[in-house]
Amino acid sequence: MASVPKPARAFHQGPPYAQVKDYVLKQIQSGAWLEGEMIPSEHQLAEQFGLSRMTVNRALRELTADQILHRVQGTGTFVALRKYESTVVEIRSLAQDIADRGHAHRASVVVHHRVRPADTVHGLFERKHATLFHSILVHYENGTPIQLEDRFVNPELFPQYLDQDFTQLTPNEYLTRVAPIERVEFRIEAMMPDGETAARLAMVVGEPCLVLNRRTWSFGQVASATALWHPGSRYRFSGSF
């Protein structure tokens, strides 16, 4: 967490909350507080400036609205990272990949709700969450199903996840827009789908799937854990370094 300097010297004249905003901006612009670093708490800043927490809260809320800060409920306030085009790890949008091939993308939403996760899912998130957001989508290319996306999402980082229309944008596009990716962990394996998954992907009996299991981190937390199921006869992974 960013250190708390000695009580600040006099600032420009203006409303007390504006003085706090000015101080925070100067700490970031000078490099004293780095991207992704947790800043001092409301209580610490209130003590430093001799102001009420309500006043400090207003300053931090306005800086968050300006995307200078990023607030994580129950954890703290962080210096915002630069957005998607500046992330350390780029995860391609499936919809964009399909568009680049000159084809049409469509998604159907099967599940989109809040759940109490099983212990196996809890373990993926490294810390216990009472609930997680869960979505299942089927992605189509020119009308043919090519991917079933089964995703669990950290509600502390993405409180508005359930408000999104994932027939209009993909979950991946939304998540990377809100909280850029710091780290990715993944594995690819061949697996036999259950009957429901096979039916949704219009697969023949006995056909295996290529499954990409992926976890992403943002602001020091697991942001999402996803299993991406692809019909083995209709999909391949490729890339270059």
Fold match between domain 16-79 and domain 85-231: no
The answer to pTM > 0.75 is no
How would you write 44-71 as a 3-class SS string? HHHHHHCCCHHHHHHHHHHHHHCCCEEE
Provide CATH code, domain 16-79: 1.10.10.10
pLDDT band at 88, cuts 50/70/90? very low
Give domain 85-231's CATH architecture. Answer: 3-Layer(aba) Sandwich (3.40)
| Domains in the chain: boundaries | 16-79, 85-231
What would the mean pLDDT of 40-55 be, rounded to a whole number?
Answer: 93
Q: Which residue, among 38, 27, 41, has the nearest Cα to 70 in the 3D structure?
A: 38
Greater confidence (177 vs 83) lies with 177
